[in-house]
A and B are shown apart, each in its own frame.
Chain A
């Protein structure tokens, strides 16, 4: 009656993938586990097999070469700030990492886990009992989106803060699976589908993050939340400016995927803001209202432009 549950510690990526392939459909990788375990507690994740990849040493390293900063996916968020190169070259990433959850969680939560953390919605991140009482939403096998009042599309929010900062600096990720190792732009894995927000094979493992060094970014990071800690984002913005004047605006918390807008110094910045806002899909599924979050996009972006001396 009470379903069998199991837990296996993987010793290497190959080992993890081979276990995963033998248990298709019933497993979940956990790294820090700080997102997965809460989702399990609430009954949103019913994987009966947990494959713990947290002790794969190869994924815990940080390397710097001429072209890239490479961050292993299992580097804890709290450890990023201990790396002088990251602190001096990618301060927005440090800010983003430090804005995730609480200090204790950041000692366990990994950067890879944060990039892959599940989308959130006030109607979804609830106990099984709650969701039954509400009438299950699209993301938990229901027929309609409750948050939007009945739409047939899921509006769960993309909430990874480090992803927003990383996309703003053009980060790529390395994906490891049994067939190949691929390098792709981080943003390319996010689908925009709130129910299945990531386009990754279940058995694949995000092994590292590569940030190009040759663009000399300046970035500004901002996060909207009620409290100065603990809270998931209601709106995250990262704006980066390269030495060549290329602007990259990335928004989180306002769509099922990161919203990205490109521009150049000298562009009409208001147009960039309008474009960013028009690309969002915000509904009232957050502690702040839809209208306010939209309004704050312009405020945050203008503040960021000022800090980057674009205005």
Chain B
């Protein structure tokens, strides 16, 4: 350890640094500047970027001692005198901040880039330079589009040039005109300053650090765990093993199949076997190495086929089910008559599709701190579902629900990957109870990948038939999905793979059978577009193929088959507003489809696909009669409305959405709203951020609450003055009658309301209407509303290498009503970026159950250079039950983009993609098979 003199943000520090300590650790843990984030610790994501003597460096791979006498600038230094740096303002203004975890690194990289940019070669050159300059900074939320816009406008401005959208300094806080006004997130400024605290930024005094010993075998019985040597290590406080936490949990009541640590056996490489609480991470890690585990190895099951088949004499992964195999769930539903449908089809095709698993790739690794005191357990953790975690902690720790408090701080992206209760959350809670000290844990990126819960690897055979006039006659899918070692959301995923094919097209004869199997790999779960992304790919590829066979334009075929608004699907989903047609027509227009299709040169292609998704599940995960969402409002003497909601803002902007809705109903400015969310002690229950439910359900609850507050105000006003309550208007921070004879300012209203009463609290709720059929499985995929969308993708395929470059995505998404258009665009752009990743480069690759690509270097999230130019269109159809007509926007958009890219590849080189990710090798091989007849141009 050496003393280091280092100037950080102009302040001289004299710190003790370990000799091999990294700068990021020094900045965060010793200087306490947590605006600098660590996302990968291997220099692959850019979140830790700081300026060292003015140059951008990756602080996670910069030795702290190299910085002796250096001047370090972190994100915290950029704002001066209470005012953001102009570049920060641009990030806020353009909506370039979603979860905000990559933002500090992105801003500092952009700032260091500024002097190197050559402004003399026009707009395209500028964008290219920005994309190149930011290409070491991964962002999983924005698709980079708004980031690039922010940087571009900043550069134009500082170089004395105005962009298309002249800057308006000081215009960050949009007030009034609430719903439908594009606005930055309410917390955007805090995020861009580096002041927003994420789970690993919040340090409880006197915390211990937790590290895990993980299984190195995919399937083995645990015969003995010897912790004695590890316990003897100085600085170790407690070592927990599985037997201390034997109660099973799982996010679904039907899949309570997991324990916090392996109890008798391990089921995947990476499963937690023991946990150490120690004075430092380093000591805890050293102790883990001293724990000796004796295993008896069992035959592992790695593939879908292994697990579908009879296990023979080998031990099954879970001792459940009637049969001697590893099938976790079979889901089958049939409507109409598929045989008849096939008979009536003029043209049909059956194709086999295969998909590798993919991971959410959120930039913030899981982290949590558990504190145990006289109030029981408090856990601060990166979770999408505080409510379900609350229940799981009470269950597994065997304590009353009233002794658990879950707090979600700012969260660095989720995409479904933080929507289960997790072992590490249960374990640190247990360790805090045992040691009487707060216990922290932060997972390495490798551990995040091992925790997984990503999209299931899948295989499916899908058959479709159509008539010569393009009417879809039949759809039948046989699906198998690889769930990994535990259940997670898998039962739902199994159904979603099938049921979410019953729209957006009218189908009379539709059926599917889906199997989910257990394998000895990290478990899969919910990921953006849950369940139906892969099967949607299959169907949209088949439609493309069938359109070609009957020589019909694939857009025309889709337009012919769309379901109407206000109708039922074959499986009795209630479709309310439906913007499929408008969405497809919009992307056709924007991409110049009619003018360009069929006229591109070989290697260049356009492809189209459509999709739909639920706006929240109409049924709760855990069957009970709680409303799906409750929102409380409190109005006190100061005129501010406090919104409390259990909903979990994971970077998608739900806190802002709640504020906008309440502001709109009450006609007040956003400055009079304060949102307190996702603290299970203080906020009423919301089921969490999954299945695209928050805007619809929490938004409706907020609207209901605001309307109830309005009623209270009206009642107070009519007691005081003679006015017809129906004539009272709430607008522009005033309450006034039509004839303006009654006209109160908001503060006058507050005085009237609180007189002799004090603060007024009201509640609002959302309960989904009863929907769906009465057959088994009818509840799967039921939603009070559905979103619809379409994408057209453009690709360039190198016919010599097979390399696919996605150049453009034109997407349109029917979100009902964009409560905040800037946020909706951000969700769409992020979805299309993520979809492009699954299409082109992302896959989880295993070696004997061991994940190969467990880092951001080998797991290939598209960078700013790899992400296509995205052109988003919002379609508004005003859903009758959504808050102000709103539906979901965060997940459904990913569905069409992947098949659109694959269909574009077919259009470019005549190769039908049936495996994801699209591989250059497959393309070349198939092009060779196709010769000489393969050229479709």
Contact = CB atoms under 8 A, between A and B. Distances in A.
A311 interface: no
A288 B921 contact: yes
A180 interface: no
A6 interface: yes
B159 interface: no
Interface in A240-274: none
Contact of B214 (A129, A232, A299): A129
B42 interface: yes
B663 interface: no
Given A107-B56, A133-B216, A230 B44 contact: yes
Contacts of A52: 63, 65-66
A1 B286 contact: yes
B136 A230 contact: yes
Contact of B55 (A41, A107, A226, A232): A107
Interface in B1-60: 2, 18-20, 22, 41-44, 46, 49, 55-58
A19 interface: no
B2 A231 contact: no
What class of interface size applies to chain A in its complex with B?
35 or more
B863 A228 contact: yes
A303 B800 CA distance: 9
A228 B860 CA distance: 11
Contacts of B216: 129, 132-133
Contact of B63 (A37, A105, A132, A133): A37
Contact of B866 (A42, A227, A288, A291): A227
Interface residues of B, number: 60
A227 B841 contact: yes
B885 interface: no
A103 B286 contact: no
Contact of B857 (A1, A232, A296): A232
A5 B19 contact: yes
Contacts of B444: 127
Contacts of A110: none
Contacts of A30: 63
A196 interface: no
B282 A2 contact: yes
A103 B233 contact: no
A50 B20 contact: yes
A230 B68 contact: no
A193 B442 CA distance: 38
B283 A105 contact: no
A32 B42 CA distance: 14
Interface string A282-311: 000001110110011001000100000000
Contacts of A54: 66
Contacts of A288: 920-921
Which one of A107, A134, A227, A287 has the greatest number of beta carbons of chain B within 10 Å? A227
A38 interface: yes
Contacts of B920: 288, 292
A38 B62 CA distance: 10
Contacts of B801: 224, 296, 299
A2 B135 contact: no
B903 interface: no
B133 interface: yes
A132 B291 CA distance: 14
Interface in A103-149: 103-105, 107-108, 122-123, 126-127, 129-130, 132-134, 146
A230 B863 contact: yes
B860 A295 contact: no
B442 to A, nearest CB: 14
Interface string A1-38: 11001110100000000000000000000100110011
A182 interface: no
Interface stretch (B324-332, B466-474, B602-610, B847-855): B847-855
A2 B865 contact: no
A5 B18 contact: yes
A9 B68 contact: yes
A230 B214 contact: no
Contacts, number: 145
A101 to B, nearest CB: 7
B841 A105 contact: no
Contacts of A146: 847
B493 interface: no
B862 interface: yes
A39 B503 CA distance: 50
Contacts of B311: none
A40 interface: yes
Interface in B848-886: 848, 850, 852-854, 857-858, 860, 862-863, 865-866
A229 B863 contact: yes
Contacts of A231: 857, 860
B165 interface: no
Given A2-B282, A289-B921, A227 B19 contact: no
Contact of A33 (B55, B56, B63): B63
Contacts of A229: 132, 135-136, 863, 865-866
B924 interface: yes
B269 interface: yes
A284 to B, nearest CB: 10
Interface string B507-520: 00000000000000
Which one of A30, A37, A122, A132 has the greatest number of beta carbons of chain B within 10 Å? A37
A5 B113 CA distance: 35
Contacts of A278: none
B201 to A, nearest CB: 21
A107 B778 CA distance: 58
A103 B133 contact: yes
B446 interface: yes
A76 to B, nearest CB: 9
Nearest to A30: B63
A127 B848 CA distance: 16
B234 interface: yes
A21 to B, nearest CB: 20
A102 interface: yes
B58 A108 contact: yes
B20 A227 contact: no
A291 B921 contact: yes
A50 B137 CA distance: 27
Contacts of A108: 57-58, 62
A104 B58 contact: yes
Contacts of A105: 43, 58, 136
A232 B18 CA distance: 30
A107 B57 contact: yes
A104 B57 contact: yes
A127 B42 CA distance: 11
B109 interface: yes
A52 to B, nearest CB: 6
Given A34-B43, A103-B136, A288-B921, A7 B65 contact: yes
B57 A102 contact: no
Which one of A7, A104, A134, A299 has the greatest number of beta carbons of chain B within 10 Å? A104
A146 to B, nearest CB: 8
Contacts of B68: 9
B61 interface: yes
Given A50-B19, A102-B136, A129-B214, 7 more contacts: A2-B282, A102-B137, A102-B863, A104-B137, A134-B850, A287-B860, A292-B921
Interface of B: 2, 18-20, 22, 41-44, 46, 49, 55-58, 61-63, 65-66, 68, 109, 112-113, 132-137, 214, 216-217, 233-234, 269, 282-283, 286, 444, 446, 800-801, 841, 847-848, 850, 852-854, 857-858, 860, 862-863, 865-866, 920-921, 924
The 7 closest A-B pairs by CB, nearest first: A102-B136, A133-B216, A229-B135, A228-B865, A7-B19, A37-B61, A292-B921
19 contacts: A2-B283, A30-B63, A33-B62, A37-B43, A37-B62, A38-B42, A41-B42, A52-B65, A102-B137, A102-B863, A104-B109, A129-B214, A129-B446, A130-B854, A227-B862, A287-B853, A292-B921, A292-B924, A299-B801
